[in-house]
Amino acid sequence: MILIWNNRLIPGVRNYIAAEKKKVVDKLQSASKSKRVGSTTELPKEGLGVGVLEKMKDDKRNDVAWQGKCSGTVYIGGNETEGHFSLISEACSMFAHTNPLHLDVFQSVVRYEAEVVAMTAALLGGKEKATGGQICGNMTSGGTESILLAVKSSRDFMKAKKGITKPEMIIPESAHSAYDKAAQYFNIKLWRIPVNKEFLADVRAIKQCINKNTILIVGSAPGYPHGIIDPIEELGELAFGFGICFHVDLCLGGFVLPFARKLGYPIPPFDFSVKGVTSISVDVHKYGLAPKGTSIVLYRNHDIRKVIVTEWSGGLYVSPTIAGSRPGGLIAGAWAAMMSLGFEGYLENTRAVMEVSKKIQKGIKEIPELFIVGRPDMTIVAFGSNIVDIFEVNDIMSSKGWHLNALQRPSSIHICVTLQHELVAADFLKDLSDSVQAVKKHPGPVNGGLAPIYGAAGKIPDRVMVKELLVDFMDNTC
């Protein structure tokens, strides 16, 4: 690595690398750049009035057709103008101008948030005596903010409890990238530990890394890459034994696993019923079928949750989330989703997505060139190949309109099954089989495809260069 870095300092090499990086960034942005031609960069001299709505409708018509074709992304089933979609849109619109920061004014939204938190906590062990009946929490803008808050609260709690001033946290390499953000934001040293052969968090390896500065360990139920539930009970025992915090990422599983267990699926313990779990993040905007921008962070008790209280010239101020002002419309939409569906509604939706997931798993197993990564516990199915380039397969699938997720270590792709896939599972499997055969018959990069970039990114030994590529991509995006 030192030799590689020193070579990059040579002017000729540095210029060559910069030129090659630009090619990669341009390729990554090729699709989005063409759609930004003629984009607005200044306020119009005269406003468009209600005509802006027609412009927005035209813009939306030019978006990609996502219905049934995306991994995750949109979790509500059916048509965007009907049924649950329509209900959520109306609920959000009704409270679009509210803000729970003004709790004396928008009392209904404040109550909705408290009830969404309470209903979610009840699903995740909050009613069991062993949890102590003190579970509390708040709604956030998404899974990342929920994780950020859990990490910050853990840091502050462990500083007060043990006097830790140089905090460290330990996570499996399958844990979400939000923990990297949290580590940078809150000055926490981060240890990413390789998963075991089953792609589960390696409890023994995590234990070996625990030291006097450890504040937090993490498990996922399930993990985003491969859809596998980490050994939450074992991690809970570990955290409790060392007197440290343990966060469970239920952003994907929070509104599936309780119902899957009720349906008889062999779901291992994953929530506050597990001794040692101190916080949980769960997205309502995924399988909770709420509007985008709704998640929840839950804490075992009020001692762990840390709120910001200040006395400034503007008056007394208290806030439990990163944002001060928050969109009441989204809170209302989440409340409407949960109240409209009820327990039975979520049960039936879980039955549907679990059955589609099993159908897709079975279909992939019947494609001899592919293998499934690990043993998926829920609705994410990751698959790779030792015979064909899986990223070339992904490029072919993209040309057929599918939007899947490319993964690394191992090179693979996954589909996160939603209600949108109920009617297209057979189409997905046929297109996947055809794509595999096309790559097998004519291997090599697809014109306009990203396989060479994804494949190279996983093999470049200089990880700093990969980070620089991503930063350059972002800097040229907005």
């291997």: which residue's tokens? Answer: 443
Write down the pLDDT at residue 458: 54
At residue 299 the predicted structure's pLDDT band, cuts being 50, 70 and 90, is: very high
Q: How many CB atoms lie within 10 A of CB 133?
A: 11
Write down the pLDDT at residue 4: 47
SS3 category, 383? strand
Rg (CA), the chain: 23
Q: What value does the mean pLDDT of the chain take? A: 90
Write down the pLDDT at residue 5: 43
* Strand partners of residue 383: 372, 413
Interval 414-438 mean pLDDT: 98
Write down the pLDDT at residue 127: 78
For residue range 70-96, list pLDDT tens digits in order. Answer: 999 999 999 999 999 999 999 999 999
**Nearest one of 421, 427, 440 to 381, comparing CA atoms:** 421
Indicate the helix (H) or strand (E) that contains 416: strand 412-416
Write down the pLDDT at residue 93: 98
- Which of 113-117, 405-409, 463-467: highest mean pLDDT? 113-117
> Do residues 99 and 328 lie in contact, with contact meaning Cβ atoms separated by under 8 Å?
yes
Interval 403-410 mean pLDDT: 93
Interval 304-331 mean pLDDT: 84
For residue range 20-43, list pLDDT tens digits in order. Answer: 556 555 655 555 555 566 788 899
């949890």: which residue's tokens? Answer: 131
State the Cα–Cα distance between residues 176 and 126, nearest whole angstrom. 25
Write down the pLDDT at residue 160: 95
At residue 12 the predicted structure's pLDDT band, cuts being 50, 70 and 90, is: low
At residue 3 the predicted structure's pLDDT band, cuts being 50, 70 and 90, is: very low
Least confident range of 263-277, 382-396, 424-438, 443-457: 443-457
Residue 1, pLDDT > 50, answer no
Residue 450, pLDDT > 50, answer yes
Instruction: Name the residue type at position 211.
Output: N
> Do residues 140 and 297 lie in contact, with contact meaning Cβ atoms separated by under 8 Å?
yes
pLDDT top residue among 132 and 478: 132
Q: How many CB atoms lie within 10 A of CB 371?
A: 18
> Do residues 71 and 403 lie in contact, with contact meaning Cβ atoms separated by under 8 Å?
yes
Residue 455, pLDDT > 80, answer no
Residue 2, pLDDT > 90, answer no
**pTM reported for the whole predicted model:** 0.89
